[in-house]
Amino acid sequence: MKKWRSTVCGYIHEGDEPPEKCPRCGAPKESFASYDVKQGNSGNGVRYVTGDTVTDVVVVGSGAAAFAAAATARSKGSEVVMIEKAPKVGGTTRRSGGGYWTPNNHLQRKAGYVDNRDDAIRYMARYSYPDQYNPNDSRYGLTEHQLDLIVSFYDNASEMAEYLENIGAMRSVMGVGWSGKAYCDYAEFLPENKGIRGRTLFSENDKGRMGFGLIVKFEDWARNNGITIVTDCRATDVIKKDGSVIGVEAVMGGEKTRFYARQGVIFGTGGYSHNADFMRQFQPGPIYGGCAVPTNTGDFIPIAGRAGAKIGNTRGAFRGDSLVEPHLEDPSAITTVFFIPGDSVIYVNKHGKRYVNEKRNYNDRGKRHFDWDSERAEYVNMLTFMIADDRVATLWQGQPPFPKKGDEKQKYLITADSLDSLADGIAEHLKNIADRTGGFSLDPSFKENLKETVKMFNKYAEDGKDPEFGRGDRDYDKEWSMRVPAGVEWPEKGSRNITMHPIVKPPYYAVILGSGTLDTNGGPVIDGKARVLGWDDEPIDGLYGAGNCIASPTADTYWGGGSTIGPAMTFGYIAGKQVSSRERREPGI
């Protein structure tokens, strides 16, 4: 029997052929490769480069930010070489949903949405910097630099989407939810948002809309337009001459090599989610996996630091709940729980009490795991528990963490015929991982509180109102996290709140959750032209950055679906424009 490995999430399938769709991440059949064949630099238009290389633009990385930069620079006449640390291109974008948040985009305008510039900037400023926001201030309370990044993003995002579509690097479609409406933003309830829809776009092609399809389209374009892509090649430093960055030092096949750039160097690499030391030093609390690729070890932070770059937002990340036990078993696996499936489902903490609106966005839910209990000197929500009944496991089967009926039940999915037994099962699972969680355990009140919490939630579901957390009161709750089960009449007639249903149908299910990162988003600071800044806030000549390797223009906030990839591609596009407009200067090696 052959083995096939998903190049997106690492899932291994046994069979004569790969599955039509990955059961873990949903990637198509084309994303699988033979598990017995070493994937590397051969084939697929990827080339080895031996010795020192001189080109116009060197792009480090191969996710959305890097490809947007490379495609832009190449289309404007620059010779481009991309170097990628991993054997496969795509980075974390390859694992993502593939959406990109793009205010005032051309499809919005075509659909009749008016995405006012001042309103959009106010929304981004308010959501990213609530402690600073002042609607009456000329800069909305932000620093000049913070506002510069937000304004630059708004002014270039729609142009980026149209430009990359016009050159054939991608084709955008507007994201539409199960309700038939264009997607709303993640904090659509803020008055600054004005209820604008349609900012989330996807790249559509024959490989689908997910991040895998976006990367396939970019890679095809790069190969067909003369961009050289070098994989298994790790950047180790930049090369400077007379204060300017003129190239990149790298290691490939155990050998050092250099890539010199006549016009400039762009880093579009990942964050530091898989650098254990950085995670301990920088993050605000314990992290248990996520969906960043294993090669995301924050290489750009020390590289840029040696070049004199200012470093910022190091505690930041794009967050989400993460399945703790699968992460502990395989740190490279995708363990993020983005959307909470179903209606008869809740989250509880170690005391058996709800602590959040379960239908809010993954980034904001992920932050709640850092709540500090000053009376007990602990993170009270460090590990929490999704509780559901068989209604959810049946109607929403196949949506993580629930398997399709007939598929093997995952070891991390706790099942019991009563809530008492479910609590005992949770306690046992926590005991088995206690040596890796600081001895985290349930409070003695958990069992009784869980039953009382379920009882109260069931009443809320019958009444149609959640007085504790307002679940279902907002558009996001109903549209983003409530995908309709296939072939089922839903919601039930007479439902007063489609996000809630009484938890009454055994068996009951639970999973252990912690905070995870889609990826971190701190690193070298850039300006609105994507130029990396020094500690004196002056640009380091010849060095540019975009994506999760830099101090994010969003801070650590998710403005809407695709709030990672949208800014990544936009600042990659800005970097590509800036670098390609520079005079070509021979590096003088």
| 449-471 average pLDDT score | 98
Going by C-beta distance under 8 Å and a sequence separation of 6 or more, which residues neighbour residue 277? Answer: none
**From CA 527, how far away is CA 118, in angstroms rounded?**
20
Could you report the per-residue pLDDT of 490-504, keeping only the tens digit for each? 888 889 999 999 999
Residue 34 has pLDDT above 80, yes or no: no
Q: Which DSSP letter does residue 182 get? A: B
Answer whether residue 457 is part of any domain: yes
The angle, 0 to 180 degrees and rounded to 10, between the axes of the packed helices 144-166 and 565-580 is 80
Residue 37 has pLDDT above 60, yes or no: no
Answer whether residue 69 is part of any domain: no
Residue pair 360/384 in contact by the 8 Å Cβ criterion: no
The confidence band for 49, taking pLDDT boundaries of 50, 70 and 90, is low
Assigned token pair, 362: 């993954």
Answer whether residue 496 is part of any domain: yes
Residue 50 has pLDDT above 60, yes or no: no
DSSP one-letter string for 4-65: EEETTT--EEESSS--SB-TTT--BGGGEEETTS---SSSTT-----S-EEEEEEEE--SHH
Answer whether residue 543 is part of any domain: no
**From CA 553, how far away is CA 550, in angstroms rounded?**
9
Q: β-strands 317-323, 531-533: how paired? A: unpaired
Answer whether residue 584 is part of any domain: no
Could you report the per-residue pLDDT of 413-454, keeping only the tens digit for each? 999 999 999 999 999 999 999 999 999 999 999 999 999 999
**From CA 524, how far away is CA 546, in angstroms rounded?**
10
**From CA 291, how far away is CA 44, in angstroms rounded?**
25
Residue type, 236: T
Residue 219 has pLDDT above 70, yes or no: yes
CA atoms within 13 A on the CB side of 418: 5
| 568-588 average pLDDT score | 95
Q: How many domains does the chain have?
A: 1
DSSP one-letter string for 131-180: TT--TTSTTTT--HHHHHHHHHHHHHHHHHHHHHHHTTS--EEE-B-TTS
Q: Is the link from the previous residue into 507 a cis peptide, with omega within 30 of 0?
A: yes
Q: How far is CA 70 from CA 57, 107, 216, 267, in A?
A: 8, 24, 15, 10
Q: Percentage of the chain with pLDDT > 90? A: 83
CATH of the domain at 347: 3.90.700.10
Please give the pLDDT value at position 39: 35
Helix (H) or strand (E) holding 459: helix 446-463
Assigned token pair, 156: 């270039």
Between CA 261 and CA 273, with CA 267 as vertex, the angle to 5 degrees is 150
Residue pair 389/503 in contact by the 8 Å Cβ criterion: yes
Between CA 306 and CA 309, with CA 307 as vertex, the angle to 5 degrees is 95
How many CB atoms are closer than 10 A to CB 549?
Answer: 33
Rg (CA), the chain: 24
Assigned token pair, 147: 């506002």
Could you report the per-residue pLDDT of 315-364, keeping only the tens digit for each? 999 999 999 999 999 999 999 999 899 999 999 999 999 999 999 999 99
Answer whether residue 287 is part of any domain: no
Tally DSSP H helices, then E strands, for the chain. Answer: 14, 24
Please give the pLDDT value at position 173: 95
Residue 31 has pLDDT above 80, yes or no: no
Assigned token pair, 347: 């989250």
The confidence band for 8, taking pLDDT boundaries of 50, 70 and 90, is low
Please give the pLDDT value at position 435: 97
DSSP one-letter string for 545-584: E-STTS--TTTT---STTTTHHHHHHHHHHHHHHHHTSPP
Is residue 286 classed as helix, strand or coil in its secondary structure? coil
Please give the pLDDT value at position 489: 80
Please give the pLDDT value at position 19: 83
Please give the pLDDT value at position 503: 98
Could you report the per-residue pLDDT of 153-207, keeping only the tens digit for each? 999 999 999 999 999 999 999 999 888 999 999 999 999 999 999 999 999 875 5
Please give the pLDDT value at position 48: 45
Please give the pLDDT value at position 46: 38
The confidence band for 45, taking pLDDT boundaries of 50, 70 and 90, is very low
In whole numbers, what is the pLDDT of the chain averaged over residues? Answer: 92
How many CB atoms are closer than 10 A to CB 228?
Answer: 20
Please give the pLDDT value at position 490: 83
Greater confidence (488 vs 580) lies with 580
Residue 233 has pLDDT above 50, yes or no: yes
Going by C-beta distance under 8 Å and a sequence separation of 6 or more, which residues neighbour residue 138? Answer: none
Residue with tokens 């191969």, as numbered in its chain: 62
| 554-567 average pLDDT score | 97
Domain carrying residue 355: 320-517
Could you report the per-residue pLDDT of 88-136, keeping only the tens digit for each? 999 999 999 999 999 999 999 999 999 999 999 999 999 999 999 999 9
| 237-261 average pLDDT score | 96
| 222-240 average pLDDT score | 97
Residue 5 has pLDDT above 80, yes or no: no
**From CA 422, how far away is CA 390, in angstroms rounded?**
13
Residue 293 has pLDDT above 80, yes or no: yes
Helix (H) or strand (E) holding 100: strand 99-101
Which value, to the nearest 10 degrees, does the dihedral of the CA atoms of residues 540, 541, 546, 548 take?
-30
Please give the pLDDT value at position 23: 66
The confidence band for 42, taking pLDDT boundaries of 50, 70 and 90, is very low
Answer whether residue 418 is part of any domain: yes
Answer whether residue 131 is part of any domain: no
Residue pair 574/550 in contact by the 8 Å Cβ criterion: no
**From CA 356, how far away is CA 364, in angstroms rounded?**
10
Q: Where are the beta strands (DSSP E) in 215-280?
A: 228-230, 233-241, 244-252, 255-267
DSSP one-letter string for 57-95: EEEE--SHHHHHHHHHHHHTT--EEEE-SSSSS-GGGGG
Please give the pLDDT value at position 483: 74
Please give the pLDDT value at position 452: 98
Whole-model pTM: value is 0.93
Assigned token pair, 251: 């290691």
Q: Which DSSP letter does residue 409 get? A: P
Q: Which DSSP letter does residue 186 get? A: T
Please give the pLDDT value at position 40: 34
Which value, to the nearest 10 degrees, does the dihedral of the CA atoms of residues 435, 440, 444, 450 take?
-120
